[in-house]
Amino acid sequence: MQKIFDIQWFDWWEGDDIYRLPSNWFYAGENIEIRKDLSWIQLSALLEDTWWNFDWNITCIVALDTLWVSGWGIVVCTDTGKIYLNGTLKKTLASSYKDVLNIWVNISSWVQYVYYVTKNSFGTGKIHRSTTNINTWVEDHREYTVATGNTGYAWIINNTWLLYIAIQNKVFILDEDEILYDYFIIPDKEWIKFISQFQDTFKVYANNVNTGIQYIWDGASTNPTYRQEWYNQPILWWVNDWSYDYVILGFNENYSDLYQVAGTQKQEIRSNLETSTLSRVLNWFLSIRQWIVYISWWKSWESSNYGIYTYGNYYPWARKSLVQSHSWTSNAFLWHCHSETNSYFACADDKVYKVSHNNPPTSYATNWYIESWVYQGDVWSEMNFDKVRIGYKLNGGTIIVKVRTGFWNTWKTIKTITDGSAKLITTNEVNTALWTWLGNFYEFQVRLELTSWTWTPIVRRCTTWLNTTDKI
């Protein structure tokens, strides 16, 4: 008898290789939470529909409380020029500049305003302005001009009440007197993808066809202090975490890698397996809340194809983990934003979904699974099943234990647990459940499925034993 899996410490992440993983890793999971309580697996908080209705594609979503506007909520903009606050239509822009790319807040003459950066395809754009309750507006408040081309994004930093607005090939500054300056300009053939700031240093990221570019800038000069190129690694998406930037580099979502950038040095966190059906595919969009990075990802074999992965930790002694925390739809999650208490995800189905950060959650995902990696015996040996022992607490709901003898084989249910707090599943129970012996095999994998309607069942430990039979 040989102990094959002993899953009891859940501080690490999913893997793409189905056969060779460190002992405490698991191969795949969905809707799982492993960071807040390190001793068990539980359901993640429920990703739920806000039931806000929008008429067309969402171009921007921002939580005003993260921009120092207390109590006003979530702003959603569509490409039809409609602007909503907490799902209520507040404004339909009459201007031809309707595509809001980004929103930020600044103070002018001791009054706090919200600024909306828009664009068109001809190299010009407008900045609209509203009061923080989004009731009083000045459309076409300021106008800017950039090089024509890929004017798809605008990124804004508020630095000592100066708005640094990065768009296309320029960084503008809008000061407290409402004067808009062309400040930092890069060549027309390049277009800015992101700007970040730490202390007195700015990092400006840009693309030139298939080359990613990073500029280091002091925020005051008209020229950069440093420039480097990442050949064949264009920048897809990014998010700032104080001294670090998290950046996705690659040609498209099938060729995309996640990096952590410190200063001018980048370190790879995760490499995509390049169109492999077993790979988690980066879907570009990133955000950050409380030092946890949120990533829109895609996996073709999930119950819901698109989900939100999270990367980070809550405890300094725990390693950072990468797991699929939420799934919902068959449409890609796009823009993210985070308020003090909730996270919001705009989806390609023109809806917004949210997750509450109560601990413990008030609502849990209704189902999840976790799969072990595939154990392979020695090439000269066969195996047969002995037993599985599981430690758990139900809190209502069920835990279903499944196994299969090969990654591409069908999962077979060996036990549905509806009571108790520990189970020993033996060979006889397996034979009764399957009406037949599993027989001898060369590969073995375990899957735990959990379903709940009120509270989350938890799994503390799952240990599997197999018998090995020499073929010689």
- Please tell me the predicted confidence (pLDDT) of residue 186: 96
Amino acid identity of residue 181, one-letter, is Y
Tracing tokens 């039931």 back to the chain, one arrives at 51
- Please tell me the predicted confidence (pLDDT) of residue 273: 80
Strands (E), 2-160: 2-7, 28-30, 32-33, 42-43, 48-49, 58-63, 74-78, 82-85, 88-92, 99-108, 111-119, 124-131, 137-145, 154-159
- Give Cα 226 distance to the centre of its chain: 30
Tell me the whole-structure pTM to 2 decimals: 0.93
Statement: residue 396 has pLDDT above 90:
no
- Please tell me the predicted confidence (pLDDT) of residue 115: 97
Of 228, 332, 280, which is closest to residue 18 (Cα–Cα)? 280
pLDDT one-digit tens code per residue, 65-76: 999 888 789 999
Statement: residue 449 has pLDDT above 70:
yes
Statement: residue 47 has pLDDT above 60:
yes
Mean pLDDT on 59-65: 95
Q: What is the mean pLDDT of the chain?
A: 89
- Please tell me the predicted confidence (pLDDT) of residue 471: 56
Give the up-direction half-sphere exposure of residue 346: CA atoms within 13 A in the CB hemisphere: 25
- Please tell me the predicted confidence (pLDDT) of residue 12: 67
* pLDDT band at residue 303 using 50, 70 and 90 as cut-offs: low
**Rounded (5°) CA angle 71-76-77:** 140
Distance CA 230, CA 264 (A): 11
Statement: residue 412 has pLDDT above 70:
yes
Asked if 45 and 361 count as a contact pair (C-beta separation under 8 A), the reply is yes
* pLDDT band at residue 104 using 50, 70 and 90 as cut-offs: very high
Asked if 164 and 144 count as a contact pair (C-beta separation under 8 A), the reply is no
Statement: residue 411 has pLDDT above 70:
yes
Distance CA 262, CA 391 (A): 42
Distance CA 267, CA 424 (A): 44
Statement: residue 299 has pLDDT above 90:
no
Of 199-203, 252-256, 352-356, the range with the lowest mean pLDDT is 252-256
* pLDDT band at residue 251 using 50, 70 and 90 as cut-offs: confident
- Please tell me the predicted confidence (pLDDT) of residue 150: 64
Tracing tokens 């449409």 back to the chain, one arrives at 331
Sign of CA dihedral 126, 129, 133, 136: negative
- Please tell me the predicted confidence (pLDDT) of residue 54: 92
**Rounded (5°) CA angle 343-104-58:** 55
Statement: residue 305 has pLDDT above 90:
no
Rama region for 117: left / alpha / beta (φ>0; ψ in -120 to 50; rest): beta
* pLDDT band at residue 17 using 50, 70 and 90 as cut-offs: confident
* pLDDT band at residue 300 using 50, 70 and 90 as cut-offs: low
Asked if 149 and 157 count as a contact pair (C-beta separation under 8 A), the reply is no
3-class DSSP assignment, residue 115: strand
- Please tell me the predicted confidence (pLDDT) of residue 123: 83
Asked if 245 and 201 count as a contact pair (C-beta separation under 8 A), the reply is no
Long-range contacts of the stretch 310-316 (C-beta < 8 A, 24+):
311/246, 311/258, 311/269, 312/35, 313/11, 313/35, 314/35, 314/36, 315/35, 315/38
* pLDDT band at residue 421 using 50, 70 and 90 as cut-offs: confident
Residues whose CB is less than 8 angstroms from the CB of residue 21 and which lie 6 or more positions away in sequence, other chains included: 15, 27, 373
Tracing tokens 């020993």 back to the chain, one arrives at 424
Of 326, 448, 423, 372, which is closest to residue 22 (Cα–Cα)? 372
Tally of CB atoms within 10 A around 339: 17
The more confident residue out of 203 and 148 is 203
Statement: residue 302 has pLDDT above 70:
no
Statement: residue 24 has pLDDT above 70:
no
- Please tell me the predicted confidence (pLDDT) of residue 29: 85
Tracing tokens 């799934």 back to the chain, one arrives at 327
- Please tell me the predicted confidence (pLDDT) of residue 385: 87
- Please tell me the predicted confidence (pLDDT) of residue 10: 66
Mean pLDDT on 43-48: 92
Q: Across-strand partners of 441?
A: 383
Q: Give me the domains of the chain, ranges plus CATH numbers.
A: 2-44+369-470 (2.60.120), 48-365 (2.130.10.10)
Residue 245 phi, psi dihedral angles, 5° rounding: -115, 140
- Please tell me the predicted confidence (pLDDT) of residue 360: 87
Distance CA 429, CA 414 (A): 7
Distance CA 361, CA 313 (A): 18
- Please tell me the predicted confidence (pLDDT) of residue 338: 96
The more confident residue out of 169 and 427 is 169
- Please tell me the predicted confidence (pLDDT) of residue 440: 84
Statement: residue 217 has pLDDT above 90:
yes
pLDDT one-digit tens code per residue, 255-279: 889 999 999 999 999 888 877 777 7
By CB atoms closer than 10 A (0-12, 13-18, 19+), residue 434 is middle
* pLDDT band at residue 297 using 50, 70 and 90 as cut-offs: confident
Buried b (16+ CB within 10 A) or exposed e, 367-392: bbbbbbbbbebeeeeebbbbbbebeb
Statement: residue 472 has pLDDT above 70:
no
- Please tell me the predicted confidence (pLDDT) of residue 163: 96
